[in-house]
Amino acid sequence: MSATPAPSARAERRPGERPPAFDPADPLGLDDLLDDEERAVRDTVRRWTADRVLPHVADWYERGELPGVRELARELGSLGALGMSLTGYGCAGASAVQYGLACMELEAADSGLRSLVSVQGSLAMYAIHRFGSEEQKQQWLPAMAAGETIGCFGLTEPDHGSDPAAMATRARREGSDWVLDGRKMWITNGSVAAVAVVWARTEEGVRGFVVPTGTPGFSAPEIRHKLSLRASVTSELVLDGVRLPADAVLPEAIGLRGPLSCLSHARYGIVWGAMGAARSCFETALEYARTREQFGKPIGGFQLTQAKLADMAVELHKGTLLAHHLGRRMDARGLRPEQVSFGKLNNVREAIEIARTARTVLGANGISLEYGVMRHAANLESVLTYEGTVEMHQLVLGKALTGLDAFR
Ligand code: FAD
C-alpha cells in the first residue's frame, strides 16, 4: 500500500454539469477525496467489523470483556491492521490516510477495538520500530504484525498521568542487567500482552524497555468496574524487581521524546477514530428521527430535532475533513505534534458532543445497549482523557500560539 495522490473532484467536472445529488451520508462529498485503494481499505475493515464485531459488541460491553481477543488480534493481523503504517517486518506499509480510515471503521464499531489496534500498532510496535535495535525488531515485530503476539505500552502511573516526566518507575543497573521496579496504571492490553514496552527513569533519563510479560516479578492485574471502554482490556502493570538483560533497553530512545513521539502517532489515529464513533451515533439518531413518531409525526420533522441533526452533521463532516487534511499532510510533509493536538482536541470533543446529542434524540432508548449511542458516549469519555486530556492539548496549542508555557 502506498500514498497515492487523491483524485481531484474538480478535474472530473464537465462544463454545465450539475453537482451530484446531496447525500445525507456524505454531504460534503468527502468520498471523492479517496482513491480506490483507500476505499478498498475502508470497505474491508467495515465488512470485517460488520461480521466480527457489531453482532457481539453490546454483549461484550455488558459483560465488561473482550472475549476471543487473541483470535480478534490474529484476524486484525491478517487484515494488515496492526502496525499498519509501519514498513518492513511483516507490516503493511500503508499511508497515513489508509491507517486513519481503518481507525475510523474500527471505532465506528467500538472505541475498545480501535484502542486494541492503536496500542498494538502505534504505541508498542511503533516504539520498537522507531527506537529498537535490529534484533528487537526481528524478534517482536513480525509476530506483532500478525497478531500472534499482543503488546502493551506502559507510561501512566497511579500518581503520574498528565505529567509523565515525574514518573516513579525506576530502572537500575546490576552488572550488565537492568532491574525495574514500579507500577503502571490504566494500561490497555496489559493482561493479554506477551510483551510490554515500559518506560522507566534511569540515571541517563527516561528509557524504554522491552519486557516479555513472563519475566519473574512482572504481573498485570486487570482493572475491573470500568464504566467506559468496557470491551477493552485495561490493566495495572506491577514491576517488582524485574530483571532484564542489557539488550532489553530501546537503544534509540533517551528522554521523554521517545514515549511522546509514540503518543503523537497514536493520537493521529484517534483523530479519525473519534469521527467513526460520532458517525455511528449520528446514523443511529438520523434513522431513529425518521421513524420514531410523537405528536402524530416523525420526530425528525420537528425543528428542534432538525437543528440537532444539522449541527451534528456539520461537526461530524468538519471533523472528518480535518482528519483527511491531517492525513494528507502527514503523508506529504509529516505532522507537528501541535497539529496532532489540534485534531485530537477538536475531534474527540466534538465526537462526545455528537454522541450526547444523539442520545437525546433517542429519548429513553438512548440509554439502552440495544442502540450504540450510550456505549459510544461512555467510551469517548476515556478517549477524551487518554493520549492527552483535553486540557493538555489546549496547553500544547496555547504554548504553540503564545510561546508561553502554562503547564506548570
Ligand atoms: P491527571 O493527570 O491526574 O489529570 C486529572 C485532571 O487534571 C485532568 O482533567 C487533567 O487535564 C487535569 N490537569 C492535569 N494537569 C493540569 C494542568 N497543568 N493544567 C490544567 N489541567 C491539568 N496510559 C498508558 O500509559 N498506556 C495505556 O495503554 C493507557 N490506556 C488507557 C486506557 C483507558 C481506558 C484510560 C482511561 C486511560 C489509559 N491510559 C493509558 C492513561 C491515560 O493516558 C491517562 O489517564 C491520562 O494521561 C491522564 O492522566 P490521569 O488519569 O492520571 O489524570
267 and 374 housed in the same domain: yes
Average pLDDT over residues 261-278: 96
What are 164-205's pLDDT values in tens digits? 999 999 999 999 999 999 999 999 999 999 999 999 999 999
Active site residue 387: yes
Report the candidate in 12, 100, 170 with the shortest Cα–Cα distance to residue 323: 100
Judgement on whether residues 377 and 349 belong to the same structural domain of the protein = yes
- Is the pLDDT reported for residue 403 higher than 50? yes
Position 3 confidence tier, pLDDT thresholds 50, 70, 90: very low
Q: Is the dihedral of CA 242, 248, 253, 257 positive or negative?
A: negative
Closest residue to atom 18 of ligand 1, CA basis: 407
Instruction: Transcribe 180-201 into DSSP letters.
Output: EEEEEEEEETGGG-SEEEEEEE
Report pTM: 0.96
Given 238, 255, 272, the domain boundary residue is 255
What pLDDT sits at residue 2?
Answer: 44
The more confident residue out of 364 and 15 is: 364
Q: What is the tens place of the pLDDT at every residue in 240-250? A: 999 999 999 99
Percent of the chain with pLDDT over 70: 97
Which residues form the domain of 35? Answer: 30-145
Q: What is the pLDDT of residues 149-163, one digit of tens each?
A: 999 999 999 999 999
Pairwise CA distance, residues 186 & 200, whole Å: 16
CATH number at 349 reads: 1.20.140.10
Distance 165 CA to ligand 1 centre (A): 13
Report the pLDDT value the prediction gives residue 11, as an integer from 0 to 100. 60
Residue 272 lies in a domain: yes
Residues with CB under 6 A from ligand 1: 119, 153-156, 161-162, 186-188, 229, 234, 382, 385-386, 389, 391-392, 407
The reply to whether 330 falls in a domain is yes
- Residue 270 maps to a domain: yes
CA 149, CA 142: separation in Å to the nearest integer? 9
User: How many domains would you assign to the chain?
Assistant: 3
- On the question of pLDDT at 269 being above 60, the answer is yes
In this structure, are 167 and 280 located in the same domain? no
How buried is 293 (Cβ within 10 angstroms: 0-12 exposed, 13-18 middle, 19+ buried)? exposed
Pair (262, 249) in one structural domain? no
Residue 274 has pLDDT above 60, yes or no: yes
CATH number at residue 88: 1.10.540.10
pLDDT of residue 1: 44
Mean pLDDT across the stretch 22-39?
97
- What is the number of other CB atoms lying within 10 angstroms of the CB of residue 268? 28
Q: Are 33 and 9 in contact (CB under 8 A)?
A: yes
| Cα of 361 from ligand 1 centre, angstroms | 31
- 123 closest CA partner among 12, 8, 263: 263
Kindly report, residue by residue over 36-51, the tens digit of the pLDDT: 999 999 999 999 999 9
Read off the pLDDT of each residue in 396-403 and give the average, rounded to a whole number: 98
Q: Both 287 and 213 in a single domain?
A: no
Q: Is 217 exposed, middle or buried (0-12, 13-18, 19+ CB in 10 A)?
A: middle
Q: What is the chain's mean pLDDT, rounded?
A: 96
Q: Give 5-24 pLDDT, tens digit per residue.
A: 455 445 678 889 999 999 99
The band of 4, judged by pLDDT with boundaries at 50, 70 and 90, is very low
The C-alpha cell at 36 is 480506490
Q: Give the end of a domain, one of 112, 145, 178.
A: 145
The catalytic residue among 107, 157, 315, 387 is 387
Question: Do 376 and 277 touch, CB atoms closer than 8 A?
Answer: yes
Residue 389 alpha carbon to ligand 1 centre in Å: 6
288 and 167 assigned to the same domain: no
Q: What is the pLDDT of residue 131?
A: 98
Pocket test for ligand 1, best of 156, 167, 225, 348 (most atoms within 8 A of CB): 156
CA atoms of 272 and 369, how far apart (whole Å): 24
Binned at pLDDT 50, 70 and 90, residue 262 comes out as very high
> Which of 234, 255, 276 is at the close of a domain?
255
The four Cα atoms 27, 28, 30, 33 give a dihedral, to 10 degrees, of 150
Clarify whether residues 108 and 68 are in a common domain.
Answer: yes
288 CA to centre of ligand 1 in angstroms: 35
CATH of the domain at 241: 2.40.110.10
Please indicate whether residue 259 or residue 4 has the higher confidence score (pLDDT): 259
Write the DSSP symbol of residue 293.
E
Domain assignment of residue 13, yes or no: no
